[in-house]
Amino acid sequence: MEGKKKSACLLSAMLSCAALPCSAADVGAEQVVAAIEAVFGVVPGERRNHTKGTCALGEFVGTKEAAVYSRSELFSGKVVPVVARFSLSGGNAKAPDTARSARGMALEFQLPGGGLQHMTMLNTPMFGAARPQTFLDLMVAITPDPATGKPDPEKVRAFKESHPDNRAQADFLASRNPPASYANSRYFGIHTFKFINRDDQVTLVRWRFVPLAGEKQLSDDELKSSPPNFLEAALIEQTREQPVRWEMILTVGAPGDPEDNPTLSWPEGRQQIKAGILTILAAMPQKGAACESINFDPLVMGDGIGPTADPVLLFRSPAYAVSFGKRLGGL
């Protein structure tokens, strides 16, 4: 209930974001959400994207090393409660857990004094669109043809040829088997963020969460034999046996590193900082659980962390708000 109240308190502010002028590509949030609905249909009261998911509860303890770069309460060294959600990308509530699609980890850090910090991540180190227009065009391309019930192969081919910014993520997903468990996957912040310290110095960073239990992908045999729904049960069982942990790693940007294009990776060799440990203590089905009603808007940030001008990052907030408003209305 507490998560629902917090999310409801943020709704009016986020819906006002949805009414902002469109992005540089002149794409509206309502337009993108409608395109997602055209591809996957609508499950009333559910998320339009990352519909299939699992809730979890845990805590985070940040490091002094990270506190040098950010004055966020995340890095005070104290225990910060966390509400988490693990998910499959896309709007299919019955998507098989063997699908070669992205996996998500969304975190709501409950900061001292009632503040919130959201982090919404994928298990791919890059996103599949440099601007909202590409994401919209992808949804249009994969919308099922009424005559066949499947996407038109020619439209999909044309999209791939005309949108090179989608290629890196698509190749990444196609070349790797999905994770065997949510607990055995890395998750990337995808975007570049600003860390602001107590002297108001700004450092550009990207973050990722690395599983301390190690990464594990499904084998080819497991990919063929695994049931369509195993990720949730596996995470619940793993957390019953013992806490599941990830280490948060910061990569510090250098002059010239792209900060407004989530499809481009930073060069190897950048400074790495151990920023803290995320511990998931329990997992549960999302129906009625704390994560169900939370809108994991990545622009919900506490003091010490700020957004860059990445057009995809800035667009996510109004798009999430549109979806969230529909969910609250039971649509």
Question: Quick check: 221 pLDDT over 70?
Answer: yes
Residues spanned by the domain of 267: 2-328
Does residue 272 register a pLDDT over 70? yes
> Which stretch of 40-44, 58-62, 121-125, 245-249 has the lowest confidence by average pLDDT?
40-44
Whether the pLDDT of residue 5 is over 50: the answer is no
Q: What is the CATH number of the domain that holds 194?
A: 2.40.180.10
Q: What is the pLDDT of residue 21?
A: 36
> Given this model, what pLDDT does residue 273 score?
98
Residue 14 has pLDDT above 70, yes or no: no
pLDDT, tens digit (0-9, with 9 covering 90-100), for 117-172: 999 999 999 999 999 999 999 999 999 999 999 999 999 999 999 999 999 999 99
Q: Is 163 a catalytic residue?
A: no
pLDDT score of 20 more than 70? no
Q: What integer pLDDT is reported at residue 188 of this predicted model?
A: 98
**Higher-scoring residue by pLDDT: 248, 14:** 248
Low-confidence winner among 14-18, 78-82, 103-107, 164-168 (lowest mean pLDDT): 14-18
| Alpha-carbon gap, residue 39 to 173, rounded angstroms | 20
- Give residue-wise pLDDT tens across range 46-101: 999 999 999 999 999 999 999 999 999 999 999 999 999 999 999 999 999 999 99
Give bridge partners of residue 276 from the DSSP assignment: 62, 248
Beta carbons of 54 and 86 less than 8 angstroms apart: yes
Q: Give the pLDDT band of residue 26 (cuts 50, 70, 90).
A: confident
pLDDT per position as a tens digit, 184-206: 999 999 999 999 999 999 999 99
Confidence bin at 18 (pLDDT 50/70/90): very low
Please give the sequence-ordered ranges of beta strands (E in DSSP) within the chain, or none if there are none. 53-62, 79-88, 103-110, 116-122, 187-188, 193-196, 202-211, 244-252, 272-285, 305-307
What is the CB neighbour count within 10 angstroms for residue 146? Answer: 6
Number of domains into which the chain is organized: 1
Distance CA 124, CA 184 (A): 13
State the catalytic residue, choosing from 50, 118, 163, 191.
Answer: 50
Q: What is the mean pLDDT of the chain?
A: 92
Confidence of residue 330 (pLDDT cuts 50, 70, 90): confident
